[in-house]
Amino acid sequence: MRCAAIDFGTNTARLLIGDCEERKLITLLVEREVVRLGGGFSDDYGLSNEAQKRGLDCLKRFSAIIREYGACYIKASATSAVRDAVNGASFVAQVKRETGIQLKVIDGDLEGRLTLNGVFSGIDVIHDDMMVLDVGGGSTEITISEYGVPKFVRSLPLGVVRLTEGFGSSQSMYERIVTIINQLESEIVSNGISIKSETELVSTAGTATTLAAIQMKMDKYDCGRVNNFIISRKDVGLIYDMLLPMTPSERLTVPGLEKGREDLIIAGILITIHVMDRFGFKRLKVSDYGLLEGLALSAAESANSVNLCDNAPGSGELLVNAK
């Protein structure tokens, strides 16, 4: 059965289509687009009209691709920007009317757990103790696992879009990050969890993959080279020092830095640096796998029980009108 997954994030939207066979997924296509759904976000008004239009245009394109590939079972998630917006529910309803896509707004805990599953599906070694860092556009998820089992999951109000648009200067962003990460450390300790010297830090999403691409001076993104790439704390700092004095347009001349991230990368690296320093990590492993793959695996596991091509009941949280 052909399945699809959509990770509709605060900055980036991604689509995966694959064939589900015996609860396994064979990837056929991955599409991505920097939508910046959280751009212009307001606590009083939620998602801006311009951001909603960008989001709808993207999902219309994804919907057409899904129909072209004949995917019958689809899971589509929306994260921080939609779940925090006062107009999030109306946007979800509009998406369903205009594209046939039923977005499911997931909370930070589920986002972290699905991301962990996605990371595990692509990592070369699953260590006994791991911390997975997912720096997103609207929030950052921290998941700590022991022997492959999530023991601690938190969604932090730190996202590259919101930090950049809400705080502006690197110093103001840093002060906000320090406050939140210090609170996180206290919560980890109070839950009886220790970050050991052998704990592996794995970072997923755009900041981490961009760091890897810059370090390897990639003119064209290569997920195979990026996935499982290891970058030291020293090299993360050197990249930060190189990018900070540049204007956003100047950063676009740096090999490996994708258009749409030129103003956001500073916030993402600041989050990464402070997590590494606070918990004593000297390096991080980059994962090209994450929430999207976690959603796809969930779709693959469920595909035998619900078939949208047959208009099966009980599929309200999934994509509708996919055929």
pLDDT of residue 317: 41
Share of the chain above pLDDT 70, in %: 92
Query: How does pLDDT run across 188-225, given as a tens digit for each residue?
Result: 999 999 888 889 999 999 999 999 999 999 999 999 99
Confidence of residue 316 (pLDDT cuts 50, 70, 90): very low
pLDDT of residue 310: 44
Is there a shared CATH topology between the 2-108+292-310 domain and the 124-288 domain? yes
Query: How does pLDDT run across 248-296, given as a tens digit for each residue?
Result: 999 999 999 999 899 999 999 999 999 999 999 999 999 999 999 889 8
| CATH code linked to domain 2-108+292-310 | 3.30.420.40
Compute φ and ψ for 235, nearest 5 degrees: -70, -35
Average pLDDT on 13-25 reads 81
Average pLDDT on 309-314 reads 35
pTM of the model: 0.86
Average pLDDT on 220-231 reads 94
How is the chain split into domains, by residue range?
2-108+292-310, 124-288
Separation of alpha carbons 114 and 298, rounded Å: 8
What 3 state SS string does 129-143 have? EEEEEEECCCCEEEE
Separation of alpha carbons 62 and 116, rounded Å: 25
Helix-strand-coil percent breakdown of the chain, rounded to 5?
Answer: 45, 25, 35
Task: Report the CATH superfamily, name and number, of domain 124-288.
Answer: Exopolyphosphatase. Domain 2 (3.30.420.150)
Confidence of residue 245 (pLDDT cuts 50, 70, 90): very high
DSSP 162: H
Query: How does pLDDT run across 74-122, given as a tens digit for each residue?
Result: 899 998 889 989 999 999 999 999 999 999 999 888 988 999 988 988 8
